[in-house]
Amino acid sequence: MEEKRILVTGAGGFIGSHLAKKLYEDGHFVRAADIKWDGYFEEPYYSEKLTLDLRDYKNCLEATKDIDYVYHLAADMGGIGYITKVGADVMHNSGLMNINMLQACVENKVDRFFFSSSACVYPEFKQLDEEVTPLKEEDAIPAQPDSYYGWEKLYMEKMCEAYKKDYGLAVRIARYHNIFGPYGTYKRGKEKAPAALCRKVAEASNPGEIIIWGDGKQTRSFLYIDDCVRGTIMLMESDYDQPLNIGSDRLVTIDELADIIIKISGKEITKKYDLTAPQGVRGRNADLTLVKKVLGWEPKVSLEEGLEKTYRWIESMVMKDKEKR
C-alpha cells in the first residue's frame, strides 16, 4: 500500500485510537488529533499529535494541512445513557466539527474524506420488535431516528453528499453498528453496553449481582474493533462513495450478551433489571449484503472471542482502579 499522509480525528477515543494505530503500523504518516486523550494505548500510535478543539475552524485548517486522507471520527457521543440524555450539545458540538472539517478539507485540497456515521440514523419505526428485520442502507430514508445523535449523523451524511456534488470532495461513509473491544471507555457514563456489562461483572463480588438496563430482551448486533478497523480501511481504499453498514448480523439479546460475559468471568452472577433505565430501540441488526458485495468484507472475530479480550482488559482496569483507592 502506498504511504499516505493521514489525519485521524477523534484519535484519543476508542475507534479513532485503534484506527490510527493500525494505519501507523502499516507505515503511513499519521497525524492524530483530539481535544483529550484517554491514554489506554501506552506506546505511540501516531507520527504527530495535535491537541485541539475542532469546533474552531482555524484548528481544522491546521489539522488538515498537507494531508491526503482524513478519517473523521471526532464526535460528542457516548452510550445509550448519554445520547438519550444529551441532545443540544451532541448536535451543536459534532455539527460544528463536521461542518468545519468538510470545509477545511476542501480548502486544503484533501484527496479523500471518511465520515463515521452510525446505525442510529435508521428510523425508529423499523426497530420496534426484538426480532427486527436487518437494516439495509436504503432503509434510512424516510427518516425517523430515535435520537438527536442519529439526526446529527444523518444530517452529516447529507452534507458529505452535498460537498461531493458541489466541490468534488471524495467521501466515504460507514454506518457503524455497536463497535466494542478493549482500550476504550468503560466507566463514567459514556461507555456502551458491552463495556458497561463487562465492568459491572468485573466489579461484582462472587457470588454477586448486576443491574441490566431494560428487561434484557432488547436486541442488538455487536462488532469487534479489529473487524471495524479492517472494514473502515477497506472502504476508504475502495471506489464506493455511498453510506455502507459496517457491523455484525448476529442478533443477540442484552440478556444473552450479559450471559456470555458472566460465563467468561467464571463468577456466579444474578441479573436484576431496571425497567426505568434508557434502552433505545427495541431491536437493531445490520444487513451486510451490500458491504459483502462491494468490499468483500464480513466479520471474522466471533462475539465470544471479542468479549473474552474485552472482558480481560476491563477486568485488569477495574483491578487498577481498586488499587488506586
Which of 46, 149, 155, 311 is flagged as catalytic?
149
Residues near 215 by beta carbon (within 8 Å), at least 6 away in sequence: 273, 275, 279
Sign, CA torsion 127/133/136/138: negative
Q: Which triple of cell numbers denotes residue 82? A: 448519554
Q: Which three cell numbers stand for residue 2?
A: 502506498
In angstroms, rounded to a whole number, what is the distance separating the alpha carbons of residues 206 and 319?
Answer: 15
- Nearest partner of 301 among 245, 232, 235, 229, judged by Cα: 229
Cell of 213: 438496563
Q: Which residue has the cell 440514523?
A: 121
Q: Is 300 buried (19+), middle (13-18) or exposed (0-12) by CB count in 10 A?
A: exposed
Please confirm, yes or no, whether 149 is among the known catalytic residues: yes
Q: Which residues contact 190 (CB under 8 A, 6 or more apart)?
A: 77, 78, 79, 82
Catalytic positions = 149
